[in-house]
Amino acid sequence: TKLESGTVTWESPSNIALVKYWGKKEHQIPANPSISFTLNNCKTTTTLTFSKKENTQHFSFEVFLDGEKKEEFKPKVETFFKRIESYLPFLTDYHFKIETSNTFPHSSGIASSASGMSALALCLMSVEKELSAIQDDSVESQKYFNQKASFLARLGSGSACRSIEGDLIVWGDSTTVEGSTDLFGVKYPYQVHDNFKDYQDTILLVDKGEKQVSSTVGHNLMHMHPYAENRFKQAHENLEKLKPILKSGDLDAFIAIIESEALTLHAMMMTSMPYFILMKPNTLKIINKIWRFRQDTGLHICFTLDAGANVHVLYPKKESKVILDFIKNELVAYCQNGQFICDQVGFGAKLL
Ligand code: PMV
């Protein structure tokens, strides 16, 4: 007997990559492994309400953001549903109302795709669980739930597969990390030094404008890219180099890899054909200020970037007092409307 209707709510965070995913094969298979910190405060809450309909082989759903119906989100969800239909055969049995809201300001230039797609994937997994005859809460079934949620989220937006759990997630086949796979994100399985617990990420909102180039287009430009092979090789090497660093807590070595990864990501954009630049003048001003401050104080502040102009300022919790003062006094001036978000490493999605 199939359920007539129901509702489920998940809250899922964003994440920030340390070794970047840029370039993919078919079916959202990454060209190289990546590793990310799961965030804590930047998240999407999604309520999925499902009600039985006649099975017409068509998807039926509506999408709301902050209570407002969003027709413009439908194509993305339609594409997502098509990609995951064979893994969730009940999709055509129900009408879905998808109600979503973000903790961060919308169109802030913060990608809501990771948190949004992972939240939706988790809601759909809860429906699958409710529909299954056997209710099983064993560790094994919990593991299956998270892995499949990550697998589905990947098909929505690649980096979304790293948002289900925390605090450090690896996605992509790597000989360096046992159990890693292209199909879903896995928890980093090795010991991590206390320096990286509660790591801080203050996100400086430099530019809230629509990106001129979507990450889909950017990934595809890696196909004909003259430096692609070397870049993919470098990502494998950087992940391998991070392993002893994460264990020993060597912050200087950590910073060197993380900043290099950020600039390499943007270097790939600048050297693709067509080429493009997502950084803004204030992005560079902030980077230079961070470098100067690090030199002057010896504190372990560094930056990373995702596919946009905003700067993620990363630093250990124990240095946060002085660094946060510096951010407020010196860096916030370069943010659009003085906007920034204080975040830190988090532990993954929650069922509400
Ligand atoms: O998940 P996508 O397809 O939007 O790609 C995001 C890629 C970066 O954010 C630039 C890097 C990463 O690994 O998250």
Q: How far is it, in rounded angstroms, from Cα 93 to Cα 160?
A: 25
Residue 255 maps to which CATH number? 3.30.70.890
Burial 169-179 (b: 16+ CB within 10 A, else e): bbbbebebbee
Q: Ligand 1: which of 12, 14, 22, 164 to mutate, most ligand atoms within 8 Å of CB?
A: 22
DSSP-assigned states of every residue in 88-120: -GGGGGEEEEEEEEESSPTTSS---HHHHHHHH
Q: For residues 11 and 109, state if they share a domain.
A: yes
Residue 109: per-residue pLDDT = 66
Domain membership of residue 18 (yes or no) is yes
* Residue 108: predicted pLDDT: 66
DSSP string, 200-214: EEEEE----SPPSS-
Tell me if 202 CB under 6 Å of ligand 1: no
pLDDT at 135: 81
Residue 307 Cα to ligand 1 midpoint, Å, equals 7
Helix extents (H) in 106-250: 113-131, 139-156, 215-221, 228-248
Instruction: Give, for ligand 1, the residue of 12, 16, 20, 272 to mutate: max count of ligand atoms closer than 8 Å to Cβ.
Output: 20
Is there a contact between 140 and 124 (Cβ–Cβ < 8 Å)? no
The reported pLDDT for the residue numbered 1 is 53
Q: What is the C-alpha separation between 130 and 350, in angstroms, rounded?
A: 17
Is the omega angle on the peptide bond into residue 226 within 30 degrees of 0, that is, cis? no
Q: Determine the 3-state secondary structure of 336 from DSSP.
A: helix
Residues 224 and 264 in one domain: yes
Q: Do 77 and 179 sit in the same domain of this protein?
A: yes
Rounded Cα distance, 94 and 174, in Å: 38
Q: Do 133 and 264 share a domain, yes or no?
A: no
Minimum CA distance residue for ligand 1 atom 9 = 306
Residue 317 lies in a domain: yes
Q: List the end-to-end C-alpha distance of the chain, in Å, as a whole number.
A: 26
35 C-beta closer than 6 A to ligand 1: no
3-class SS shares of the chain: helix, strand, coil, % to 5: 45, 25, 30
pLDDT by position in tens, the chain (length 352): 578 999 999 999 999 999 999 999 999 999 999 999 999 999 999 999 999 998 888 999 999 999 999 999 999 999 999 999 999 999 999 999 999 999 987 766 677 899 999 999 999 999 999 999 778 889 999 999 999 999 999 999 999 999 999 999 999 999 999 999 999 999 999 999 999 999 999 999 999 877 788 999 999 999 999 999 999 999 999 999 999 999 999 999 999 999 999 999 999 999 999 999 999 999 999 999 999 999 999 999 999 999 999 999 999 999 999 999 999 999 999 999 999 999 999 999 999 9
Same domain for 180 and 295, yes or no, is: no
- Quote ipTM for the complex: 0.99
Report how many domains make up the chain.
Answer: 2
213 and 185 housed in the same domain:
no
pLDDT score recorded for residue 208? 80
Q: Cα(350)–Cα(91) distance, rounded to whole angstroms?
A: 23
Q: Are residues 336 and 229 in the same domain?
A: yes
- For residue 171, the enclosing domain spans 5-191
How high is the pLDDT of residue 270?
98
Within-domain flag for 254: yes
154 with 31, same domain: the answer is yes
Helices of type H across 14-73: none
Please answer whether residues 38 and 160 qualify as being in contact, where contact means their C-beta atoms are separated by less than 8 angstroms: no
d(CA 339, CA 102): 16
In this structure, what token pair is assigned to residue 163? 């948002």
